[in-house]
Amino acid sequence: MNEISSLSKKEKKYSKGFGKLRNSSARVIFTLFFTALAVIFGSFLFVRQKDNQRIKEVRQETLSKIQRLIEDDKQNEAFELALKTEKFLPNDSIFNNLFSKVSNKINLKSHPTSSEIYTRLINTPDSLYRF
């Protein structure tokens, strides 16, 4: 009988602690908080997925345009677009392959070492020098 009465005391104590949460506005606030948190997290994931999808679309469009410019023998335009794209796709193998078709890498040694190098496009006399 002692075990039963002690169990019932524990049950009473247990139910009293959660009874307040069940019967008060705290439960409503608790539920609303976690529901809002779930909605915010779900929205974040949805927006992030849309952003990733848009980035892939822009990447594909840009790479296709560079490819078309190369095929149309518009090397200077392809190079200009590739320069703008390079900072966004530094480790993209397809981009690097296209970029190597419209550019050359060279190593320069200068004296003094703080010299600045400016370049401009070949066969385009009105193009501006670029650092």
| pLDDT tens-place string over residues 76-98 | 888 888 888 888 777 888 888 98
The 10s digit of each residue's pLDDT in 7-39 is: 555 555 555 555 555 557 777 788 888 888 888
* Residues forming beta bridges with residue 130, ordered by sequence position: 119
* Amino acid at the residue 78: A
The answer to whether the predicted template modeling score (pTM) of the entire model surpasses 0.85 is: no
* CA–CA dist 75, 60 (Å, integer): 19
- Token look-up 């169990």 returns 7
Q: What is the dihedral of CA 92, 95, 97, 102, to 10 degrees?
A: -150
Both structure tokens of 15: 């139910």
Cα 57 vs. chain centroid, distance in angstroms?
Answer: 13
46 with 55: CB under 8 angstroms? no
